[in-house]
Structure 1
Amino acid sequence: MKILNICAYTWAIGGPARIIYDHTTEVLRQGHQVDILSPMTPGEKSYPVPAGARLIECKRSKPVSKFFNEFSVELYSYLKQHLSEYDIVHMHGIWHFGSLAPFLVPNHVAKVITIHGLLDRWAIDHSKWKKKIVSTLYQKRLLGKADLIQINNTDEEQDVLHYLGYRPKNMVIVPNGMKVSDYANLPDKGIFRKKQGLSDTHQIVLFMGRLNIKKGLDLLLPGFEKIHKEVPEAILILAGPDDGYKEETENFIRKHQLADRIRMVGMLTDGDKKEAFSDANLFVLPSYSEGFSIAVLEAMTCKVPTVVSDRVGFGDYIKKYHAAHLTPLTIDGVAEGILKILQQPSYANELRKRAYTMVTENFDISVVANQLLEEYKKIKKT
């Protein structure tokens, strides 16, 4: 098969790019062809491309892209010329131009949409009026026209049912996965600490993700402020690009005089990211809304105990395996989870063991990619 993924394939977009990378690696190994069509803003850093795949970058078209996310005349022109060459076009996410464009070009290519958590009620309420307009104009109709809607879990299934008001026949649960073997050999411990001027006695609480309120930073920051006096060696590392919450974060740090306890290190990529996982004492993500958090899976694969909400995209698996400390979405709940892991090594050790088992048994890309390929084969048009 010849497969076209459409996604903003950048480091800043985070999880979806990693998901495409891992899935593409496995798909190529099985002899299929993969292209990635990516709307880009000048200066954005594209995600690594698996050997054998092709990345096609398209400039976003201003000023329209400021109001209609990822709008790109170049992307539309590429589809108009080449879409008929593919067997599958896989759109990642909704609400943006990339998930609309394939329907604007006359073609008979099988169309797949992965929701990536964007029908979660928290996500729907964000920019609610814009999404209401898009829903009315085309979004609900296009979901009905897609040959396959990929969702990751039963929570997302309920989100789709609530949004559409009916159960589409073309919907299937296939979790996202990751290449576990990529994390088999982490960098030596101490490298990240040395770069940050931290000693072996510091306890690193790692947050990795876009600085967006939906990640639960309004809970994490005051939660950490509650515990830092009780655990003075605890350091909160915020690793990620600004996505609307950087200024609020900086203001909180200044107001509470926490500059020596909370560090904003920007987006970490490649080896820097693995160095951070290698040195972290725990990973925290009290998110209100995630499609499927690859960052949490990465932490678990690196055997870092985690404090997360049940909205990270695979809460049912976490509950089944007791694979993380599931925090309620409260300041006190987040603080209690961090304290329990930092102060109870045996508890932390049990979490990391169960989490690694959960990931390897359910989310290794060699398992997950084959599930999605089988769904592709069912809808491919001869």
Structure 2
Amino acid sequence: MRILNICAYTWAIGGPARIIYDHTNEVLRQGHQVDILSPMTPGEKSYPVPEGARLIECARTTPVSNYYREFSIGMYQYLKTHITEYDVIHMHGIWHFGSLAPFLIPNHAVMVITIHGLLDKWAVAHSKWKKDLVTILYQKRLLGKADLIQINNTDEQQDVIRYLGYEPKNMVIIPNGMKLSEYANLPKKGLFRNKHQIGTDQQVILFMGRLNIKKGLDLLLPAFLKVHEKLPNAILILAGPDDGYQSETEDFIQKNNLGNKIKLVGMLTDTDKKEALSDADLFVLPSYSEGFSIAVLEAMTSKVATLVSDRVGFGDYIRKYNAAYLTPLNSDGVAKGLLKILQDQDYAETLVKSAYKMVTENFDIKVVANQLLEEYKKIKKI
């Protein structure tokens, strides 16, 4: 099969790029061909491209793309010329030009849309007027026209039904996955601590994600203040690029005199990220909305105890396995969970074991990639 993924394939976009990377490696191994069509802003760093795949970069067209996500005349021109070369067009996410453009050009490819959590109530309420406009213009209609809608869990299934007003026959639940072996041998402990002047007696709470309100930073910051009062050796590492909430974070740090207890280290990639996971005592993501958090899977695979909300994309699995501390979406709940994990080593180790079992039994990319390939093949056009 010749497969085209459409996504902003950059480090900053986070999970979807990683999902495409891992899935592509497995699909290539089975003899299929994969291209990735990505709108880019000058200066953006593209995600690594699997050997054997091809990344086609197209410039975002400003100022339109500032208001309509991923709008790119170059993307449209590429599709107009090459769309007939593909058997599968896989669009990642909705509300943006990349999920519209393939429907504007006649073609015979299987049209696949992965929702990535973007119909969650919190996500829909954000920039609601834009999404209402897109809904009226085309979004509901195109979801109905897609050959396959990939969702990750039963929560997302209900989101789609609520949005469309009916349950589409073209919808299938396939969780995302990752290459587990990549986190089997982490860097030796102490490297990240040495780089950031963190003592061996300090307990490291690690947050990895875009500095965005939806990640629950408005809950995590005051929760950490409560933790600091009881555990003064605890330190919070915020690892991620600014996505609208860095100035508020810096103001909170300054106001509460936490400059030596909360460190903003920017986005961590490759070895730097693994060094941070190796040195972390706890991973935290009290998110309001996630499609499917690869960052949480990475932490669990790295055998780090985790505290998350049930909105990370696989809350039902976490409940089944008791794989993480599931926090309510308030700062008191986050603080209680942080303290529980940091003060109860036996509990933390139980979470680690349960989470690792959950990941290995359900989210190995070899299993997940085959499930998606089989769904491609079921569609009569192939």
TM-score bracket for this pair, using the shorter chain length: over 0.9
CA distance in 1: counterparts of 2:92 and 2:193, whole angstroms: 36
1:18 maps to 2:18? yes
Distance 1:200 1:33 in 2: 47
> What is the match of residue 356 of structure 2?
356
The letter for the 2-side match of 1:160 is V
| In structure 1, C-alpha distance between the alignment counterparts of 2:20 and 2:298, rounded to whole Å | 15
State percent identity of aligned pairs: 76
Are residues 1:312 and 2:312 paired?
A: yes
Q: Give the residue type in structure 2 aligned to 1:215.
A: K
What is the one-letter code of the residue matched to 1:235? I
- Give the structure 2 partner of residue 171 of structure 1: 171
Corresponding residue SS for 1:237:
strand
* Equivalent residue number for residue 161 of structure 1: 161
* Counterpart Cα distance in 2 of 1:66 and 1:336: 40
**What is the one-letter code of the residue matched to 2:13?**
I
Residue 2 of structure 1 corresponds to: 2
Partner of residue 244, structure 2: 244
- Paired residue secondary structure (2:268): coil
Aligned equivalents of 1:299 and 1:78: distance in 2? 38
Residue type at the aligned position of 2:246 = K
Question: What SS does the corresponding residue of 1:292 show, helix, strand or coil?
Answer: coil
Contact 1:180 1:364 in 2 (8 A): yes
Equivalent residue runs for 1:138-287 within 5 Å: 138-287=138-287
**1:50 and 1:370 mapped to 2: Cα distance?**
18
Q: How big is the shift at 1:148? A: 0.1
Q: Matches of 2:378 and 2:37 in 1, distance apart? A: 23
C-alpha displacement of 1:381: 1.3
AA in 2 matched with 1:112: V
The amino acid of 2:172's aligned partner reads V
* Cα deviation, residue 380, structure 1: 5.3
Amino acid at match of 1:56: I
Does 2:157 correspond to 1:118?
no
Structure 1 letter corresponding to 2:282:
L
**Deviation readout 1:179-229 (Å, 9 max, x if unpaired):** 000111100100000000111111100000000111000000000001102
* Matching residue's letter, 1:116: H
Q: Structure 1: where are the runs of 5+ without partners?
A: none
> How far, CA to CA, are the matches of 2:137 and 2:122 in structure 1?
21
Question: 1: CA distance between counterparts of 2:338 and 2:236?
Answer: 11
Task: State the distance in 1 between where 2:172 and 2:23 align.
Answer: 17
| 1:88 and 1:380 in contact (8 A); partners too | no
SS of match in other structure, 2:230: coil
Task: Please name the residue that 1:62 is paired with.
Answer: 62
Aligned residue for 1:34, secondary structure, equals: strand
Matched, 1:38 2:38: yes
Letter in 2 for 1:20: I
- 1:365 aligns with 365
> Hey, what's the Cα distance between the residues in 2 that align with 1:339 and 1:49?
40
Q: CA deviation at 1:284?
A: 0.2
Partner AA of 2:365 in structure 1: I
Give the deviation of 1:137 after TM superposition: 0.2
Q: Distance in 1 between matches of 2:188 and 2:50?
A: 25
Aligned mates of 1:265, 1:365 — CA distance in 2: 29
**Quick one: distance in 1 between partners of 2:308 and 2:66?**
32
Would the aligned equivalents of 1:10 and 1:46 in 2 still touch at CA under 8 Å? Answer: yes
**Residue deviations 1:19-43 (CA, integer Å, cap 9, x gap):** 0000000000001000000000000
Query: 1:255-311 CA deviation, whole Å, 9 max, x = no partner?
Result: 111111101001000100000000000000000100000000000000000000000
| Distance in 1 between residues matched to 2:209 and 2:143, nearest whole Å | 28
Instruction: Give the distance between the partners of 1:379 and 1:58, measured in 2 at CA.
Output: 29
SS at match of 1:288: coil
The answer to whether the 8 Å contact 1:240/1:265 transfers is yes
- The DSSP-based 3-state class of the residue aligned with 1:168 is coil
Q: Could you tell me how far apart the structure 1 residues matched to 2:120 and 2:188 are?
A: 39
In structure 2, the partner of 1:334 is 334
SS at match of 1:61: coil
Whole-angstrom CA distance in 1 between matches of 2:324 and 2:151? 22
Q: SS at the partner of 1:229? A: helix
